[in-house]
């Protein structure tokens, strides 16, 4: 079985193909037992491919399957790719063959081990398994509650109808090696039939292969032609006087027959592009009218294919990608009338023909077909060839394949096909980041939690979340389809960052319990991602126990203004003990942390929070009066909105003092006292009563729809009296297209350019705030300028895509180290 043909040709992946409409062949049907799956379930998908060693036909299909399901995980027997761009940077789980001697160059020699190897790949944690198979991938082991859909490029050719042909070509028709080869192929056939029973639905790359599937497995298959990159080719109507054939020179491609036929037609010119083991044989048959160019880069192939008067194809191919590519150039086809060509070429009997067929694989048939071509060439219009090829586009393939999988999996019934975006190397996606354990202390939806939610939505297939408290945040995470575990924090809930006693007794017991529970989960992931300060403490210790790196997303300015002395000491201790890397939400946060801990600056990165614009853009057509009526706010007043939890350092009292000085304005306070700050809320309400502001100050409490609240007001204020780590509210106000006034300190200075995209005021200065708000109310031009520039700033500097990419890239780098 070590013959070159068996190693390089018999296990040859099929050539890439194109896409067509689903045929009427009965196929994938959802199993009744799975109808009970919840539509809201986060569906985990695994994609299994035979082997990854090159970028050929089967890999073109794999590329588009990944585009349909970008969050899926990828499995393969071996992975020896150099250019991984078509995998969008995905990591690949491989089998034990990957580590066997000479596997990179001789992986085909391990054919007898491949059934065992594919069965050792563990996909039991997935709801849906998609196999891309021309050899053994369809034999992956799946359970009764998993849906397995197999896209079959071909049943194992050399084990079935082409066995005798391959044995002859490999000179294995007699002797001990022949007996061994036949025994192995017999074993492969038995295994191939047995494993076909575990496939829920077959998809074939052509009706030709669907008939093979029916013959071999006694199963029906739907047909979805593989994708062709027709956009890479352009229509050319000016044809020159030469014919073209292009292929790898292996026996079944029959290039030698085409060359021999043209050698007998010296008046006709043939150009041959390609290389392979049959090259010497081909050259020996070539006459002076045959130009053999050997291997050529794509641009040369495209040029010759565009200018040729016809493309000649003599193989019995499963599909035949080059046939479609030629038509994409407007070049008609002269093809052997068997296999996939019958499905991709419209012959002369059809209204808009794109080619013609010959009946036998011999020189006489080829000569007769070429002679007849001259008589009918006027009917084979380039425009019709191009139109036929466009049926097989990659976009068409994605639509058909995604629809088929969605129809087969009840939990995907409401899913939509992801928008196709070209792969950008270096920009991690949901599929190429490591496995993450995100840890957060809170169940409420504060700024830190909203920022984490954006990460979770983008990376949900690779992320698990642990919370130390239940609440609205858990509900939002569940809605996003992520796995969430809520651990009981016990007495630790009462520990605040502003200070207080360290946990003792029951609290210490709760601390140990949280660390152990977090460490258990951390052993299943690659990196711990701590989103809050208390989560960082637990994560740092758990990371030591689980031997996993810990990344803290720092969303605070760690200074005495925000933290108690004991809490600052704990942060310093954790930085030395267990933090691998720190992501800061602003330069101000990063500088304060570095100053406190003397942490290596090379392990601190600044990534600005990303805020989605969609909730705000969705309200553009909604009249402000409608929003005010919904929130029970006065219709005609000038409303100034404050959006934050009610806490003294957030400075809502400064806004109320400014309202005393500004009788023409109303204040809208959106937020609640979340962390034991009820006394502060009482003080605010007492101030309102004492100054008779009840008709002009509106306490809305906690609100889910922040976008609607912001769009209901006329201006957004940010009144923190101590430096703010970032200032999410400021960016949200910009996205709501409202002028923003903010305190001149901390991370705010990294967002606002004074009087360009917002206005800065001295923290705690109610008189300055009142004057600024009065100016805004009276100056429409200023408001318009701030709104226009602010929206641009929010879109360009604080978008969710750059935020998610930045965090994902850091987590990937940390896990790799």
The confidence score (pLDDT) of residue 486 equals 93
Q: How many domains does the chain have?
A: 4
404 domain-assigned = no
Average pLDDT of every residue of the chain: 88
The token pair at 567 is 């809490």
Helix 728-735 × helix 447-459 angle, to 10°: 70
Q: Is 683 exposed, middle or buried (0-12, 13-18, 19+ CB in 10 A)?
A: middle
Q: 780 with 674, same domain?
A: yes
Domain membership flag for residue 528: yes
Residue 579: predicted pLDDT? 94
**Are residues 209 and 258 both part of a single domain?**
no
Structure confidence at residue 297 (pLDDT): 85
Q: Round to whole Å and give the CA distance between 153 and 209.
A: 7
The DSSP line for 167-222 is HHHTT-SSSHHHHHHHHHHHHHHHHHHHHHTT-SEEEESSHHHHHHHHHHHS--EE
Residue 29 structure tokens: 């049907």
Is the pLDDT assigned to residue 147 strictly greater than 50? Answer: yes
Which of 568, 584, 606 is the last residue before a domain boundary?
Answer: 606
Token readout for 725 is 């780590």
Dist CA 330 CA 108 (whole Å)? 38
- Residues 578, 665, single domain; the answer is no
Burial of 485 (0-12, 13-18, 19+ CB in 10 A): middle
The answer, yes or no, to whether residue 22 has pLDDT greater than 90, is no
More confident residue, 34 or 22: 34
Whose tokens are 């698990």? That residue is 464
Flag the least confident range among 367-371, 494-498, 636-640. 494-498
Are residues 168 and 69 part of one domain?
A: yes
* Residue 769, CA distances (Å) to 522, 760, 763 in order: 48, 9, 9
User: What percent of the chain lies above the pLDDT cut of 70?
Assistant: 90
Q: Which of 101-110, 453-462, 674-683, 723-732 reaches the highest mean pLDDT?
A: 723-732
Beta-carbon contacts of residue 115 (< 8 Å; ≥ 6 apart) = 136, 139, 188, 191, 195
- Selection from 549, 632, 613, 592 nearest residue 790 by Cα: 613
Residues 447 and 566 grouped into a single domain: yes
Q: For residue 561, give its domain range.
A: 436-606
Dist. CA 1–CA 708, nearest whole Å: 70
> Rg of the chain over CA atoms, in angstroms?
33
Q: Are residues 217 and 237 in the same domain?
A: no
Taking alpha carbons only, the member of 453, 416, 520 closest to residue 800 is 453
Chain centre to alpha carbon of residue 166: 40
Predicted local distance difference test score (pLDDT) of residue 445: 84
Confidence of residue 25 (pLDDT cuts 50, 70, 90): very low
For 452-518, what is the HEC assignment? HHHHHHHHHHHEEEEECCCCHHHHHHHHCCCEEEECCCHHHHHCECCECCCCCCHHHHHHHHHHHHH
Same domain as 238, residue 216: no
H or E stretch covering 4: helix 4-4
Q: 416 in a domain, yes or no?
A: no
- The average pLDDT across 735-760 equals 96
pLDDT of residue 584: 94
Domain-located, residue 331: yes
**CATH code of residue 218:** 3.40.50
Is 28's pLDDT higher than 50?
Answer: no
What pLDDT does 158 receive?
67
> Of 189, 223, 257, at which residue does a domain stop?
223
590 and 669 in a single domain? The answer is no
Q: What is the pLDDT of residues 253-305, one digit of tens each?
A: 999 999 999 999 999 999 999 988 889 999 999 999 999 999 888 889 999 99
Q: Among 296-300, 394-398, 479-483, 813-817, which range has the highest average pLDDT?
A: 394-398
Q: Are residues 34 and 169 in the same domain?
A: yes
- Do both 677 and 577 map to the same domain? no
- Which pLDDT belongs to residue 275? 87
Q: Note whether 14 and 154 are within 8 A (CB).
A: yes
CATH number, position 486: 3.40.50.2000
764 and 631 in one domain?
yes
Is 3's pLDDT higher than 50?
no
Task: Please give the average per-residue pLDDT across 760-789, as a whole number.
Answer: 96
The answer, yes or no, to whether residue 24 has pLDDT greater than 60, is no
- pLDDT of amino acid 578: 87
| Band of pLDDT at residue 156, cut at 50, 70 and 90 | confident
Task: Please state, in angstroms and rounded to a whole number, the distance separating the CA atoms of residues 645 and 442.
Answer: 14
Q: Which residue has the higher pLDDT, 8 or 738?
A: 738
Q: Are residues 771 and 694 in the same domain?
A: yes
The per-residue DSSP string of 638-668 comes to EEEEEES---GGGTHHHHHHHHHH-TTEEEE
DSSP 756-782: TTBEEE-TT-HHHHHHHHHHHHH-HHH
- In a domain, residue 284? The reply is yes
Residue 320's SS3 state is: coil
């Amino acid at each position: 079985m070590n013959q070159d043909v068996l190693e390089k040709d018999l296990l040859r992946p099929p050539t890439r193909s194109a896409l067509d409409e689903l045929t009427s062949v009965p196929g994938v049907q959802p199993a009744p037992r799975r109808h009970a799956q919840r539509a809201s379930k986060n569906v985990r998908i695994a994609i299994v491919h035979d082997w990854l060693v090159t970028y050929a036909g089967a890999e073109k299909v794999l590329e588009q399957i990944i585009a349909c399901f970008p969050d899926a995980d990828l499995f393969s027997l071996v992975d020896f790719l150099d250019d991984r761009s078509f995998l969008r940077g995905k990591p690949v789980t491989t089998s034990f063959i990957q580590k066997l001697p000479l596997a990179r160059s001789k992986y085909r020699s391990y054919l007898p081990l491949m059934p065992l190897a594919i069965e050792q790949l563990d996909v039991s944690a997935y709801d849906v398994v998609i196999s891309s198979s021309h050899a053994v991938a369809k034999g992956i082991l799946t359970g009764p509650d998993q849906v397995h859909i197999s896209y079959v490029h071909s049943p194992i050719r050399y084990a079935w109808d082409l066995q005798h042909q391959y044995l002859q070509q490999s000179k294995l028709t007699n002797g001990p090696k022949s007996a061994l080869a036949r025994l192995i192929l017999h074993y492969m056939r038995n295994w191939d039939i047995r494993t076909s029973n575990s496939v829920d639905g077959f998809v074939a790359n052509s009706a030709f292969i669907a008939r093979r599937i029916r013959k071999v497995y006694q199963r029906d298959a739907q047909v979805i032609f593989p994708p062709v990159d027709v956009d890479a080719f352009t229509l050319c109507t000016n044809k020159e006087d030469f014919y073209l054939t292009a292929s790898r020179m292996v026996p079944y491609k029959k290039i030698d027959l085409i060359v021999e036929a043209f050698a007998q037609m010296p008046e006709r010119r043939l150009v041959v592009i390609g290389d392979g083991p049959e090259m010497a044989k081909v050259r020996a048959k070539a006459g002076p009218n045959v130009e053999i160019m050997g291997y050529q880069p794509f641009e040369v192939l495209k040029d010759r294919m565009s200018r040729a008067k016809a493309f000649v194809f003599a193989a019995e191919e499963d599909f035949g990608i080059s046939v479609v590519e030629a038509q994409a150039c407007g070049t008609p086809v002269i093809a052997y009338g068997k296999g996939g060509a019958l499905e991709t070429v419209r012959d002369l009997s059809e209204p808009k023909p794109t080619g013609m067929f010959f009946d036998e694989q011999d020189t006489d048939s080829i000569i007769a077909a070429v002679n007849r071509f001259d008589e009918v060439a006027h009917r084979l219009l380039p425009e019709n060839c191009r139109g036929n090829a466009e049926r097989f586009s990659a976009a068409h393939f994605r639509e058909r394949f995604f629809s088929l999988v969605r129809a087969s999996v009840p939990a995907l019934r409401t899913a939509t096909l992801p928008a196709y975006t070209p792969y950008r190397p270096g920009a991690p996606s949901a599929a190429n980041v490591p496995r993450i354990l995100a840890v957060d202390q809170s169940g409420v939806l504060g700024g830190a939690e909203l920022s984490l939610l954006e990460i979770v939505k983008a990376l949900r297939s690779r992320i698990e979340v642990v919370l130390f408290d239940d609440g609205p945040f858990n509900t939002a995470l569940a809605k996003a389809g992520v796995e969430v575990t809520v651990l009981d924090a016990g007495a630790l809930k009462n520990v605040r960052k502003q200070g207080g006693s360290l946990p003792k007794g029951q609290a210490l017991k709760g601390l140990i319990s949280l660390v152990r529970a977090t460490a258990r989960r951390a052993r299943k992931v690659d990196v711990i991602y701590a989103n809050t300060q208390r989560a960082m403490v637990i994560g740092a210790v758990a990371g030591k126990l689980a031997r996993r790196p810990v990344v803290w997303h720092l969303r605070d300015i760690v200074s005495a203004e925000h933290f108690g002395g004991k809490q600052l000491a704990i942060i310093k201790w954790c930085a030395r003990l267990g933090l691998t890397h720190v992501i800061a939400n602003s330069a101000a946060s990063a500088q304060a942390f570095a100053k406190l801990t003397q942490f290596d600056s090379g392990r601190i990165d600044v990534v600005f929070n990303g805020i989605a614009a969609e909730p705000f853009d969705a309200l553009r057509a909604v009249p402000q009066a409608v929003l005010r009526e919904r929130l029970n706010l006065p219709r005609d007043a000038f409303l100034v909105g404050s959006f934050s939890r009610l806490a003294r350092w957030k400075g809502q009292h400064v806004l109320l003092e400014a309202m005393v000085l500004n009788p023409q304005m109303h204040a809208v306070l959106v937020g609640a006292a979340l962390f034991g700050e009820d006394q502060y809320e009482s003080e605010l309400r007492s101030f309102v009563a004492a100054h008779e502001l009840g008709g002009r100050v509106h306490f809305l409490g906690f609100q889910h729809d922040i976008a609607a609240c912001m769009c209901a007001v006329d201006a957004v204020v940010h009144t923190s009296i101590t430096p703010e780590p970032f200032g999410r509210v400021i960016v949200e106000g910009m996205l709501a297209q409202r002028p923003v006034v903010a305190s001149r300190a901390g991370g705010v200075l990294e967002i606002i350019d004074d009087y360009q995209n917002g206005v800065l005021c001295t923290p705690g200065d109610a008189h300055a705030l009142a004057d600024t708000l009065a100016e805004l109310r009276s100056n429409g031009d200023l408001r318009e300028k701030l709104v226009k520039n602010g929206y641009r700033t929010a879109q360009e500097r604080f978008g969710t895509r750059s935020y998610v990419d930045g965090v994902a890239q850091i987590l990937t780098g940390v896990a790799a180290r």
